[in-house]
Structure formats: C-alpha cells, structure tokens
Amino acid sequence: MNKIPNRQVICEVLMEKAKEDKEIVVLCSDSRGSASLTPYADAFPEQFVEIGIAEQNLVSISAGLAKCGKKSYAASPACFLSTRSYEQCKVDVAYSNTNVKLIGISGGISYGALGMSHHSAQDIAALSAIPNMRVYIPSDRHQTRKLIEHLLLDEKPAYIRVGRNAVEDVYSEENCPFEMDKATIVNNPSDQADVAIIACGEMVKPAQDAAGILEKEGICAIVIDMYCVKPLDTKTIVDTANRVNAIVTIEEHAPFGGLGSMVSQVVASNCPKKVINLALPDEPVITGTSIEVFDYYGLNAEGIAKTVRELS
Amino acid sequence: MENLKALSFELRKNVIDMIVEGKGGHIGGDMSVMDALVTLYFSQMNIRPENQEDEDRDRFVMSKGHSVESLYAVLAKKGFFPMEEVIANFSKFGSKYIGHPNNKLPGIEMNSGSLGHGLPVCVGMALAGKMNHRNYRVYTIMGDGELAEGSVWEGAMAASHYKLDNLCAVVDRNRLQISGNTENVMSHDSQIERWSSFGWHVINVENGNDIDALNQAFEEAKKTKNQPSVIIANTIKGFGSSVMENKANWHHKVPTQEEYTQIMKDLEARREAYLHE
C-alpha cells in the first residue's frame, strides 16, 4: 500500500524545481503542515511566503507576485481556497490572467469527520465555471508528479485538487502514461466494451478495481481517468461513448456541476447514451473517515460494479 | 513641467465627455480621485508607454475600479491609447473600454472592479520587488467606502508584517458612497488610528484635491522606511463643479444637457484660472 499522499508529491516536485528556478514561490495560509510543505519552507525560505489564515489575501498576493514575474503556487485547504477566496480566484487570477497555480489540498471529503465546513464538494462546479480557469484532479502520486511537472512549464491559471490521504497507485513509476489535457485510458479491454467508467481523483482507483470485478463476470468496462476536468477531454468521451452501451461517472463531488454533469452534457449533445452519475449526495455527508463515507454512499469498486450490473 | 492643476481640469472634462457618450459612469468618484491620479502619473511614477514592459517600472492598481473613466483619461493623456477613441467608445457594445479596468488594455496591470482586491494584489507586487531587489514602487488607490471590505485589512496586515516600504496606498476619502454619507453607512473616521494600529505610516492630506500637497505626501512616503505608507486624501466628491460637489446622487449619474453645459463651464473656468496662475 502506497504511503505517499499526492500533496507530498507536489512538495517534492516543487523542491526539485525550486533549486533551479528562483521565480517559483510557494504561499500558504497557515497550512504548511497540512500541505506537506514544511520541507519546502525549510529548504527555500526565500521562495516561501506565509500569509496566515487569510485565504483571500493568499490568492490576491499570489496574483500580485505572478504579475511581477513569479510562478505562484498557493496551497490551502480546498474547502477554503475554492469558496472563501472564490472571487479572488475569479478576478485576480483567472480574469487578470496571472500565473497562479491554486493547490487545493485535503480536497473533497478528505477531512472526513470535521464536517461540511471542511469539505470541498463544490469546487469542480465553482472553479470550472470561471473562464480561463483550468481544473485538474489527479488520481495517484505518479500522475500528480507528471501533472505538476507539466504545469510548471506554462504560465496560465489552474486549480489543482488533491486529497489528504495516501491513495493506492493506479499507475506505476515505469508505466504512467500522461498527456496534458488528455484523459488517460486506464483499462481498455476490447473494441466491444459494454460500459465506460469515467472517474477523476480518488475515484479512479475504485473504477479500476470495479473493471476487474466486472471482467470476472463477463462484463467489459473501459476505465477513463479524467484528471483534466477542465479543459474536459471531450474527444475521448465521444470516442468512448460510441463504443459502449452506457457510461457511469464517479466523482468525489456534489451531484451537480461536476464531472458527471459535464460528461452528460457532452454525451447528450454528441452521441446520446445512458449516463449514470455517482457522486456525493446533496446534503452534508455522514460523519466518518473518507473511506467510511465512500463506502456508505457506494462510491467504491463494489458500488460501481453494482451500478453497472443494474444497467443490463 | 506641465501645469498639472490645469491638466486635472482638462482631464475632468474628458471624463465628463466619456460618461455622456457612454451614457453612464462613476462621475463623483472620478472627480474626487483625479488629482491623486494626475500626481501619480505626471509627477511620481516612472510609467509611460515606452517602458510598460520594463521590470523596474512603478506599478499601479486602481482598486476603486469604478473610477476607471479618470484612469482612462490619464492613461490616454500619457499616450497609452487615443483620448478620442476612449470618449467615442466608452461602454459601448463590443468596446474594449469597459466600465472597470481591464489589463488587455495597455497601461493597466490588473483587472479590478470588485472592491478590496487592489491592496492585497499590490502587497504581492511589492513583495516581488523586495524578493527581486528591484527599486520600483507600488501604488494603489482605494475608495473610503471600500474600506468596509475585510480583504483590505488582510492586505494591510501583510504589508506591515513584510515591512513593504515600497508600497503606498491612497484612500480617496470623499466621505460619500452610494447609500449616502460614509459615517452613516459604515463609519470610517479614525483613519489615522486604524492604519497606524496596523503598522502603517499614515499621511493625512487635508486637501486631497491639492496636487502640491499630494506630491509632498508621496515624497514623505518614499522616505519612509520599514513600513508601508497610506495617504488619506480628504477629497470632495464631484470636485470641480458645484452641480456635483458633495452630492451622493452623483456617485453614478449622467448629466442632463443643462447640467453638462454648467459642469463644463465650471471645469473650464477652473482650468483657465490655473493656466494663468
């Protein structure tokens, strides 16, 4: 079982690159520990800015730095970053087109029992609705590394959500196919697949496992890792939809405005097929660890497999 | 040097034309803030079209973005774009001269319009200047009603924490906002105590429409070390014509033909007076 959370990988990549690139600046809002950024802050005090508990300030200052040539990485709990500082993300980052990468840590329901104030189940909907804002939700540590390495090469705004806990690998160090803004096909059984499962973030691993369960039952499932929620890889969605009878989407997000909504829009317009959206409910989620909560709502491999079985 | 006092009234006339042509604009605040803008752009800041990409240029963010008409007039006069083009197109369908600052236009660093953003953004710009050992200065102008935004004070806190003496904020203290007198809407008196308690060097300018006094204030700010400076510019909303002065309903108003004639006459009279001073 992998012990390295995605947030830690982000810190590692930034530490590697900050050695050579002095324009990289990491900012946090009293969140250096929860963002796994303490080693970075210790190693690069000149390239680290502590803002204190002030997420609006965090984002605006990041934008001001970026406007003067810095590459700003603003790390803060996704729940606060995506709502408390939403307007700063909209105006100072996206609208003003500043090179700020917004790192939403402990995203989704990572904080589990801390309750709805600490959950970011609306961030895909909120951030995706802003013009010039990209939204990425990597699935495992290998993909997270590739994503951050690519983001360091561009100068455009982006929001990246990662979870708090270490998650099982979907890929391996040797085998982690990655193309910027193109979905990764995790499982591609044959030309005659029955169903496609489109997932992002921590839901990709259960989707991969569900395909394994279904295969034993004679059901062929394509699994797609849509880490690039915006810009959405519509071509892969349409190509896949044309090969299957139905699509299941799964995400750690509210049932509205997230990956499922976006995939449904694309499929309905281009190649109508049945689409089932699995997501968190439209209510404060039950108290528990994220795994307990996922299990309760069927956001796991067995839940996906059950949904697929019920399709036929 | 050009007669800046006369210039401020010439530019006010351009603003009035812009607002009449575009059928809308934040006229009262445009008039109160004009002198601070003219002082910054024609006396203080090293910014002009030729050096707008220079890393050492001074930075300015119009935090009270609704006074964009004044900023347009100043930037046009500086040569960033033609004055006639702004007046003819302001706020019209498809125009690039929209009702709040947009950095697709030359001379504008950051988009604003939502209040309480300019100061924190300038904190970032000033911090970058310190990190890169650059000598540029960073300026922002806020409205007094804007000071009710909590984000202003987040920025104020960070600016003094990081000892940003390359940052100077201006408060256009015209004492009026949409709902009326600022002291009735949300009191803002005790500006000096408020900013001082946040670690800022406070410079109170009794007449914030006096360019000489403003220049002195900016010079004092430049000499202030280890802390950011704020200039409280006590201004008159609608300054330049008795038709508009100190009237809250001129926050956002288009003059009638009759009012237009009177306002232009008043502004021209003041311009003339300064020309021969």
- Give the strands of the sheet with A71-77, arranged side by side: A48-50, A24-28, A71-77, A100-105, A158-161, A134-136, A228-230
- Residue B66 banded pLDDT, cuts 50, 70, 90: very high
Chain A residues touching residue B124 (CB < 8 angstroms): 60-68, 72
Q: At what angle do helices B4-22 and B211-223 cross, to 10 degrees?
A: 110
Q: Which amino acid is at A112?
A: G
Chain A residues touching residue B63 (CB < 8 angstroms): none
pLDDT tens profile A250-297? 999 999 999 999 999 999 999 999 999 999 999 999 999 999 999 999
- pLDDT > 70 in chain A, percent: 100
- Indicate yes or no: CB of B110 within 8 angstroms of CB of A63: yes
Nearest CB to A65: which of B109, B124, B155? B124
Cβ-proximal residues to A265 (8 Å cutoff; 6+ apart), any chain: none
Nearest CB to A91: which of B55, B109, B114? B114
Q: Please compute the mean of the pLDDT values over residues B70-92 and round it to a whole number.
A: 98
pLDDT tens profile B104-126? 999 999 999 999 999 999 999 99
Strand B167-173 with B229-234, pairing: parallel
Burial category of A39 from C-beta neighbours within 10 Å (exposed 0-12, middle 13-18, buried 19 and up): middle
CA dihedral B131, A132, B51, B35 (to 10 degrees): -90
- Residue A216 pLDDT: 96
Work out the minimum CA distance from A190 to partner chain B, whole angstroms. 49
Q: Considering chain B, what is the average pLDDT of its residues?
A: 96
- Residue A176 pLDDT: 97
Instruction: Give the separation between CA B86 and CA A109, rounded to whole angstroms.
Output: 50
Of all residues in chain A, the one with the smallest CA distance to B108 is A96
Closest by CA position to B198, among listed B233, B223, B169 = B169
CA dihedral A46, A48, A50, A54 (to 10 degrees): 140
Token digits for B9?
């009234």
Nearest CB to B127: which of A54, A61, A92? A61
ipTM: 0.96
- Residue B1 pLDDT: 52
Closest by CA position to B13, among listed B273, B268, B270 = B268
pLDDT tens profile A6-30? 999 999 999 999 999 999 999 999 9
pLDDT of A207 > 80? The answer is yes
CB distance B36 to B115 below 8 Å: no
Buried b (16+ CB within 10 A) or exposed e, A154-174: eeebbbbbbbbebbebbbeee
Residue A35 half-sphere exposure, CB side, CA atoms within 13 Å? 30
Closest by CA position to B166, among listed B218, B118, B215 = B218
The class of domain B4-275 in CATH terms is alpha beta
Burial category of B62 from C-beta neighbours within 10 Å (exposed 0-12, middle 13-18, buried 19 and up): buried
Q: Please compute the mean of the pLDDT values over residues A192-219 and round it to a whole number.
A: 96
Tracing tokens 């973030």 back to the chain, one arrives at A201
Q: Looking at the complex, does the CB of residue A94 fall below 8 Å from at least one CB of chain B?
A: no
- Residue B99 pLDDT: 96
Q: Please compute the mean of the pLDDT values over residues B153-161 and round it to a whole number.
A: 98
Of all residues in chain A, the one with the smallest CA distance to B125 is A64
pLDDT of A191 > 80? The answer is no
CA dihedral A139, A143, A147, A148 (to 10 degrees): 100
Strand A134-136 with A228-230, pairing: antiparallel
Q: Please compute the mean of the pLDDT values over residues B261-275 and round it to a whole number.
A: 96
H helices present in chain B, as ranges: 4-22, 27-39, 68-78, 83-89, 118-131, 150-161, 182-185, 191-197, 211-223, 257-275
CATH of A184-311, one of 3.90.1720.10, 3.40.47.10, 3.40.50.150, 3.40.50.920: 3.40.50.920
pLDDT of B2 > 90? The answer is no
Q: Please compute the mean of the pLDDT values over residues A215-222 and round it to a whole number.
A: 96
Q: Where are the domains of chain B?
A: 4-275
Q: Please compute the mean of the pLDDT values over residues B33-42 and round it to a whole number.
A: 98
- pLDDT > 90 in chain A, percent: 95
Q: Please compute the mean of the pLDDT values over residues A66-94 and round it to a whole number.
A: 98
Closest by CA position to A105, among listed A131, A70, A87, A79 = A79
Token digits for B115?
């209040």
Q: Where are the domains of chain A?
A: 6-161, 184-311
Is A6-161 CATH 3.40.50.2300?
no
- Residue A112 pLDDT: 93
- Indicate yes or no: CB of A67 within 8 angstroms of CB of B150: no
- Indicate yes or no: CB of A68 within 8 angstroms of CB of B117: no
CA dihedral A240, A245, A250, A256 (to 10 degrees): 100
Q: Looking at the complex, does the CB of residue A92 fall below 8 Å from at least one CB of chain B?
A: yes
Instruction: Give the separation between CA B138 and CA B223, rounded to whole angstroms.
Output: 14
- Eight-class DSSP state of B15: H
3-state secondary structure of A197: strand
pLDDT of B81 > 70? The answer is yes
Other beta carbons within 10 Å of B194: 17
Q: Please compute the mean of the pLDDT values over residues B211-223 and round it to a whole number.
A: 98
pLDDT of B50 > 60? The answer is yes
Residue B117 half-sphere exposure, CB side, CA atoms within 13 Å? 30
The beta strand positions in chain A, using DSSP E, are 24-28, 48-50, 71-77, 100-105, 134-136, 158-161, 184-187, 195-199, 221-225, 228-230, 246-250, 274-278
pLDDT of A312 > 80? The answer is no
Other beta carbons within 10 Å of B114: 19
pLDDT of B276 > 90? The answer is no
- Residue A214 pLDDT: 96
CB distance A219 to A308 below 8 Å: yes
